[in-house]
Amino acid sequence: MAAAGEGGPTVSEYIVHHLTNLTYGKLPAGTVRYDGTLVPEGGLWTMAHGGAEASAMGFTAIHVDSMAWSIGLGILFCWLFRRVATGASAGVPSGFVNFAEMIVEFVDNTVKDTFHGRNPLVAPLALTIFVWVFLMNLMDLIPVDWIPEILLLAGVEYQKIVPSTDPNITMGMAVGVFILMLFYSIKIKGFGFVKELTLHPFEHPVFIPINLFMETVGLLAKPFSLGLRLFGNMYAGEMIFILIAALYSAGVLWMAPAGILQLGWAIFHILVITLQAFIFMVLTVVYLSMAHEDH
Protein backbone atom coordinates (compact mmCIF):
# COMPACT_ATOMS: atom_id res chain seq x y z
CA MET A 1 0.00 0.00 0.00
CA ALA A 2 1.15 3.53 -0.70
CA ALA A 3 2.12 5.09 2.60
CA ALA A 4 -0.68 7.04 4.14
CA GLY A 5 -0.19 9.83 6.60
CA GLU A 6 3.24 11.41 6.90
CA GLY A 7 4.78 11.91 3.48
CA GLY A 8 1.83 10.28 1.75
CA PRO A 9 -1.92 10.59 1.26
CA THR A 10 -4.30 10.52 4.19
CA VAL A 11 -6.56 7.50 4.64
CA SER A 12 -9.46 9.50 3.20
CA GLU A 13 -7.43 10.53 0.15
CA TYR A 14 -6.23 6.94 -0.28
CA ILE A 15 -9.81 5.59 -0.31
CA VAL A 16 -11.07 8.29 -2.70
CA HIS A 17 -8.13 7.66 -5.04
CA HIS A 18 -8.82 3.92 -5.18
CA LEU A 19 -12.51 4.51 -5.88
CA THR A 20 -11.88 6.95 -8.76
CA ASN A 21 -12.07 5.68 -12.32
CA LEU A 22 -9.64 6.56 -15.08
CA THR A 23 -12.01 8.82 -17.02
CA TYR A 24 -11.73 10.31 -20.50
CA GLY A 25 -14.11 12.97 -21.72
CA LYS A 26 -14.68 16.57 -22.74
CA LEU A 27 -14.29 19.34 -20.18
CA PRO A 28 -16.60 22.31 -20.88
CA ALA A 29 -15.08 25.68 -21.67
CA GLY A 30 -14.32 27.72 -18.58
CA THR A 31 -13.87 24.74 -16.27
CA VAL A 32 -11.16 25.30 -13.67
CA ARG A 33 -8.72 22.40 -13.85
CA TYR A 34 -6.79 20.80 -10.98
CA ASP A 35 -3.75 23.00 -11.67
CA GLY A 36 -5.78 26.23 -11.66
CA THR A 37 -5.86 26.70 -15.45
CA LEU A 38 -9.09 27.36 -17.36
CA VAL A 39 -10.35 25.17 -20.17
CA PRO A 40 -10.28 27.23 -23.42
CA GLU A 41 -13.22 27.93 -25.72
CA GLY A 42 -14.56 24.83 -27.43
CA GLY A 43 -13.79 22.59 -24.47
CA LEU A 44 -11.01 20.07 -24.03
CA TRP A 45 -10.94 16.30 -24.57
CA THR A 46 -8.63 14.90 -21.92
CA MET A 47 -8.19 12.47 -19.05
CA ALA A 48 -9.90 13.66 -15.88
CA HIS A 49 -7.76 14.54 -12.91
CA GLY A 50 -9.94 13.67 -9.94
CA GLY A 51 -13.66 13.23 -9.37
CA ALA A 52 -14.53 16.91 -9.90
CA GLU A 53 -13.22 16.93 -13.47
CA ALA A 54 -14.86 13.56 -14.20
CA SER A 55 -18.17 14.95 -12.96
CA ALA A 56 -17.77 18.07 -15.10
CA MET A 57 -17.37 15.89 -18.21
CA GLY A 58 -20.95 14.69 -17.82
CA PHE A 59 -22.55 12.03 -20.00
CA THR A 60 -19.78 12.06 -22.61
CA ALA A 61 -17.24 10.71 -20.12
CA ILE A 62 -15.92 7.17 -20.57
CA HIS A 63 -14.46 5.07 -17.77
CA VAL A 64 -11.44 3.84 -19.68
CA ASP A 65 -10.31 1.37 -17.03
CA SER A 66 -13.72 -0.31 -16.69
CA MET A 67 -14.08 -0.58 -20.47
CA ALA A 68 -10.55 -1.93 -20.96
CA TRP A 69 -10.74 -4.53 -18.19
CA SER A 70 -14.25 -5.73 -19.08
CA ILE A 71 -13.47 -6.05 -22.80
CA GLY A 72 -10.12 -7.66 -22.03
CA LEU A 73 -11.73 -10.23 -19.71
CA GLY A 74 -14.40 -10.90 -22.33
CA ILE A 75 -11.69 -11.62 -24.90
CA LEU A 76 -9.95 -13.86 -22.35
CA PHE A 77 -13.18 -15.82 -21.86
CA CYS A 78 -13.64 -16.27 -25.63
CA TRP A 79 -10.01 -17.36 -26.08
CA LEU A 80 -10.07 -19.87 -23.21
CA PHE A 81 -13.31 -21.53 -24.24
CA ARG A 82 -12.40 -21.54 -27.92
CA ARG A 83 -9.18 -23.28 -26.96
CA VAL A 84 -11.19 -25.85 -25.01
CA ALA A 85 -13.63 -26.34 -27.89
CA THR A 86 -10.88 -26.89 -30.46
CA GLY A 87 -8.87 -29.12 -28.11
CA ALA A 88 -11.73 -31.32 -26.94
CA SER A 89 -11.62 -34.98 -27.95
CA ALA A 90 -13.71 -38.10 -27.56
CA GLY A 91 -11.45 -39.36 -24.77
CA VAL A 92 -11.58 -38.60 -21.06
CA PRO A 93 -11.08 -34.84 -20.57
CA SER A 94 -8.35 -33.59 -18.27
CA GLY A 95 -7.08 -30.34 -16.83
CA PHE A 96 -8.80 -27.15 -17.88
CA VAL A 97 -10.87 -28.99 -20.51
CA ASN A 98 -12.52 -30.99 -17.73
CA PHE A 99 -13.11 -27.84 -15.69
CA ALA A 100 -14.64 -26.00 -18.66
CA GLU A 101 -16.91 -28.92 -19.47
CA MET A 102 -18.09 -28.96 -15.84
CA ILE A 103 -19.02 -25.28 -16.13
CA VAL A 104 -20.83 -25.81 -19.44
CA GLU A 105 -22.75 -28.78 -18.03
CA PHE A 106 -23.62 -26.85 -14.87
CA VAL A 107 -24.94 -23.86 -16.84
CA ASP A 108 -26.80 -26.14 -19.28
CA ASN A 109 -28.58 -27.97 -16.44
CA THR A 110 -29.46 -24.67 -14.77
CA VAL A 111 -30.98 -23.36 -18.00
CA LYS A 112 -32.96 -26.59 -18.52
CA ASP A 113 -34.39 -26.31 -14.99
CA THR A 114 -35.18 -22.59 -15.26
CA PHE A 115 -36.02 -21.78 -18.88
CA HIS A 116 -39.28 -23.27 -20.12
CA GLY A 117 -39.29 -21.99 -23.69
CA ARG A 118 -37.37 -23.00 -26.81
CA ASN A 119 -34.55 -20.63 -27.72
CA PRO A 120 -31.01 -21.69 -28.74
CA LEU A 121 -29.64 -18.30 -27.65
CA VAL A 122 -30.39 -18.65 -23.94
CA ALA A 123 -27.86 -21.32 -22.92
CA PRO A 124 -24.85 -19.68 -24.67
CA LEU A 125 -25.96 -16.31 -23.29
CA ALA A 126 -26.17 -17.76 -19.78
CA LEU A 127 -22.69 -19.29 -20.10
CA THR A 128 -21.25 -16.00 -21.35
CA ILE A 129 -22.85 -14.00 -18.54
CA PHE A 130 -21.78 -16.43 -15.81
CA VAL A 131 -18.13 -16.71 -16.86
CA TRP A 132 -17.73 -13.07 -17.87
CA VAL A 133 -19.24 -11.70 -14.64
CA PHE A 134 -17.22 -14.21 -12.62
CA LEU A 135 -13.97 -13.08 -14.27
CA MET A 136 -14.81 -9.43 -13.64
CA ASN A 137 -15.63 -10.20 -10.00
CA LEU A 138 -12.48 -12.31 -9.67
CA MET A 139 -10.35 -9.19 -10.18
CA ASP A 140 -11.48 -8.17 -6.70
CA LEU A 141 -9.12 -10.78 -5.21
CA ILE A 142 -6.04 -9.03 -6.60
CA PRO A 143 -4.54 -6.83 -3.82
CA VAL A 144 -5.92 -3.32 -4.27
CA ASP A 145 -2.50 -1.66 -4.63
CA TRP A 146 -0.64 -3.98 -6.97
CA ILE A 147 -1.91 -2.96 -10.41
CA PRO A 148 -2.66 0.72 -9.58
CA GLU A 149 0.87 1.17 -8.17
CA ILE A 150 2.46 -0.50 -11.21
CA LEU A 151 0.44 1.65 -13.62
CA LEU A 152 1.20 4.75 -11.56
CA LEU A 153 4.87 4.25 -12.45
CA ALA A 154 3.78 4.44 -16.10
CA GLY A 155 1.96 7.72 -15.48
CA VAL A 156 -1.58 6.31 -15.13
CA GLU A 157 -2.91 8.11 -12.07
CA TYR A 158 -6.22 6.27 -11.51
CA GLN A 159 -7.10 2.64 -12.07
CA LYS A 160 -10.09 0.57 -10.93
CA ILE A 161 -9.53 -3.00 -12.05
CA VAL A 162 -12.88 -4.50 -10.97
CA PRO A 163 -15.40 -3.63 -13.72
CA SER A 164 -18.38 -4.89 -11.71
CA THR A 165 -17.75 -2.14 -9.11
CA ASP A 166 -18.69 0.37 -11.82
CA PRO A 167 -22.48 0.90 -12.16
CA ASN A 168 -21.98 1.81 -15.83
CA ILE A 169 -20.82 -1.75 -16.52
CA THR A 170 -23.43 -3.59 -14.44
CA MET A 171 -26.30 -1.40 -15.61
CA GLY A 172 -25.08 -1.68 -19.20
CA MET A 173 -25.34 -5.47 -18.99
CA ALA A 174 -28.73 -5.18 -17.29
CA VAL A 175 -30.01 -2.90 -20.06
CA GLY A 176 -28.83 -5.47 -22.62
CA VAL A 177 -30.86 -8.15 -20.81
CA PHE A 178 -33.83 -5.76 -20.66
CA ILE A 179 -33.71 -5.18 -24.42
CA LEU A 180 -33.76 -8.96 -24.97
CA MET A 181 -36.73 -9.23 -22.60
CA LEU A 182 -38.68 -6.65 -24.59
CA PHE A 183 -37.67 -8.17 -27.93
CA TYR A 184 -38.82 -11.69 -27.06
CA SER A 185 -41.93 -10.46 -25.23
CA ILE A 186 -43.06 -8.69 -28.40
CA LYS A 187 -41.88 -11.48 -30.72
CA ILE A 188 -43.48 -14.35 -28.78
CA LYS A 189 -46.59 -12.67 -27.38
CA GLY A 190 -47.34 -9.97 -29.92
CA PHE A 191 -50.39 -8.00 -28.83
CA GLY A 192 -50.60 -10.31 -25.81
CA PHE A 193 -47.70 -8.37 -24.31
CA VAL A 194 -49.81 -5.20 -24.38
CA LYS A 195 -52.65 -7.12 -22.74
CA GLU A 196 -50.27 -8.26 -19.99
CA LEU A 197 -49.33 -4.67 -19.27
CA THR A 198 -52.88 -3.32 -19.31
CA LEU A 199 -55.17 -6.13 -18.10
CA HIS A 200 -53.16 -7.61 -15.22
CA PRO A 201 -53.76 -8.03 -12.36
CA PHE A 202 -57.23 -6.46 -12.79
CA GLU A 203 -59.02 -7.49 -15.98
CA HIS A 204 -61.69 -4.79 -16.05
CA PRO A 205 -60.91 -2.00 -18.58
CA VAL A 206 -61.47 0.69 -15.95
CA PHE A 207 -58.29 -0.46 -14.20
CA ILE A 208 -56.09 -0.15 -17.32
CA PRO A 209 -54.20 2.98 -16.08
CA ILE A 210 -53.52 1.34 -12.70
CA ASN A 211 -52.47 -1.94 -14.32
CA LEU A 212 -50.21 -0.15 -16.79
CA PHE A 213 -48.52 1.81 -14.01
CA MET A 214 -47.93 -1.23 -11.78
CA GLU A 215 -46.76 -3.50 -14.60
CA THR A 216 -44.44 -0.81 -16.02
CA VAL A 217 -42.87 -0.26 -12.60
CA GLY A 218 -42.44 -4.01 -12.17
CA LEU A 219 -40.94 -4.32 -15.66
CA LEU A 220 -38.45 -1.50 -15.14
CA ALA A 221 -37.52 -2.80 -11.68
CA LYS A 222 -36.05 -5.96 -13.24
CA PRO A 223 -33.03 -4.36 -14.99
CA PHE A 224 -32.48 -1.88 -12.15
CA SER A 225 -32.40 -4.60 -9.50
CA LEU A 226 -30.29 -6.85 -11.74
CA GLY A 227 -27.59 -4.23 -12.31
CA LEU A 228 -27.63 -2.54 -8.91
CA ARG A 229 -27.51 -5.82 -6.98
CA LEU A 230 -24.27 -6.84 -8.66
CA PHE A 231 -22.79 -3.35 -8.36
CA GLY A 232 -23.76 -2.94 -4.69
CA ASN A 233 -22.35 -6.26 -3.54
CA MET A 234 -19.09 -5.93 -5.45
CA TYR A 235 -18.60 -2.26 -4.52
CA ALA A 236 -19.10 -3.09 -0.84
CA GLY A 237 -16.59 -5.94 -1.10
CA GLU A 238 -14.03 -3.70 -2.77
CA MET A 239 -14.56 -1.03 -0.13
CA ILE A 240 -13.83 -3.54 2.64
CA PHE A 241 -10.61 -4.60 0.89
CA ILE A 242 -9.54 -0.94 0.66
CA LEU A 243 -10.35 -0.29 4.33
CA ILE A 244 -8.35 -3.36 5.36
CA ALA A 245 -5.44 -2.20 3.18
CA ALA A 246 -5.60 1.20 4.89
CA LEU A 247 -4.88 -0.53 8.23
CA TYR A 248 -1.32 -1.21 7.08
CA SER A 249 -0.59 2.51 7.46
CA ALA A 250 -1.75 2.53 11.10
CA GLY A 251 1.52 1.09 12.37
CA VAL A 252 3.48 -2.12 12.71
CA LEU A 253 1.09 -3.55 15.31
CA TRP A 254 -1.79 -3.42 12.82
CA MET A 255 0.02 -5.24 10.01
CA ALA A 256 -0.58 -8.78 11.33
CA PRO A 257 -4.32 -8.20 12.07
CA ALA A 258 -4.71 -6.51 8.67
CA GLY A 259 -3.10 -9.50 6.94
CA ILE A 260 -5.39 -11.94 8.77
CA LEU A 261 -8.46 -9.85 7.95
CA GLN A 262 -7.42 -9.56 4.32
CA LEU A 263 -6.92 -13.31 3.97
CA GLY A 264 -10.20 -14.12 5.73
CA TRP A 265 -12.20 -11.66 3.65
CA ALA A 266 -10.56 -12.91 0.43
CA ILE A 267 -11.53 -16.53 1.24
CA PHE A 268 -15.10 -15.50 2.05
CA HIS A 269 -15.19 -13.28 -1.04
CA ILE A 270 -14.58 -16.28 -3.30
CA LEU A 271 -18.11 -17.37 -2.39
CA VAL A 272 -19.47 -13.86 -2.94
CA ILE A 273 -18.00 -13.38 -6.43
CA THR A 274 -19.22 -16.81 -7.54
CA LEU A 275 -22.68 -16.32 -6.05
CA GLN A 276 -23.12 -12.90 -7.64
CA ALA A 277 -22.20 -14.26 -11.08
CA PHE A 278 -24.62 -17.14 -10.58
CA ILE A 279 -27.46 -14.84 -9.45
CA PHE A 280 -26.98 -12.52 -12.42
CA MET A 281 -27.08 -15.52 -14.78
CA VAL A 282 -30.12 -17.16 -13.17
CA LEU A 283 -32.14 -13.93 -13.07
CA THR A 284 -31.34 -13.31 -16.73
CA VAL A 285 -32.62 -16.78 -17.62
CA VAL A 286 -35.72 -16.30 -15.44
CA TYR A 287 -36.54 -12.95 -17.03
CA LEU A 288 -36.12 -14.38 -20.54
CA SER A 289 -38.29 -17.36 -19.56
CA MET A 290 -41.01 -14.96 -18.41
CA ALA A 291 -40.70 -13.14 -21.74
CA HIS A 292 -41.40 -16.45 -23.55
CA GLU A 293 -44.44 -17.38 -21.45
CA ASP A 294 -47.68 -16.49 -23.19
CA HIS A 295 -50.58 -16.45 -20.77
DSSP the chain: ----STTS--HHHHHHHHT---EEEEEPTT-B-TTSPBP-TT-EEEE--SHHHHHHHGGG-EEHHHHHHHHHHHHHHHHHHHHHHHH--SS---HHHHHHHHHHHHHHHHHHHH--S--TTHHHHHHHHHHHHHHHHHGGGS-TTHHHHHHHHTT-------GGGSHHHHHHHHHHHHHHHHHHHHHHHTHHHHHHHHHSS--SGGGHHHHHHHHHHHHHHHHHHHHHHHHHHHHHHHHHHHHHHHGGGG-GGGHHHHHHHHHHHHHHHHHHHHHHHHHHHHHHHHHHHHHH---
Catalytic residue status for 168: no
Catalytic residue status for 233: yes
Given 83, 225, 249, 289, the catalytic residue: 225
Q: Which residues lie closer than 8 Å to 70 by C-beta, 6 or more apart?
A: 136, 163, 169
Q: What are phi and psi for residue 34, nearest 5 degrees?
A: -60, -30
Query: Can you tell me the distance from the alpha carbon of 66 to that of 24, in angstroms, rounded to the nearest whole number?
Result: 11
Q: Which residues lie closer than 8 Å to 78 by C-beta, 6 or more apart?
A: none
Are residues 215 and 221 in contact, defined by beta-carbon separation less than 8 angstroms?
A: no
Q: What pTM was estimated for this model as a whole?
A: 0.91
Q: β-strands 44-47, 62-63: how paired?
A: unpaired
- Which pLDDT belongs to residue 199? 85
What is the full per-residue pLDDT of the chain (295 aa) written as tens digits? 444 545 567 888 899 989 999 999 999 998 999 888 999 998 999 999 988 899 999 888 999 999 999 999 999 999 999 988 887 766 666 778 888 989 999 999 999 999 988 899 999 999 999 999 999 999 999 999 899 989 999 989 999 999 999 999 999 999 999 999 999 999 998 888 888 888 888 888 888 899 999 999 999 999 999 999 999 999 999 999 999 998 888 778 888 988 999 999 999 999 999 999 999 999 999 999 999 886 5
Nearest partner of 44 among 17, 60, 58, 25, judged by Cα: 25
Nearest partner of 28 among 51, 45, 3, 8, judged by Cα: 45
Given 33, 168, 229, 289, the catalytic residue: 229
Given 137, 211, 233, 249, the catalytic residue: 233
Catalytic residue status for 225: yes
Nearest partner of 232 among 174, 180, 191, judged by Cα: 174
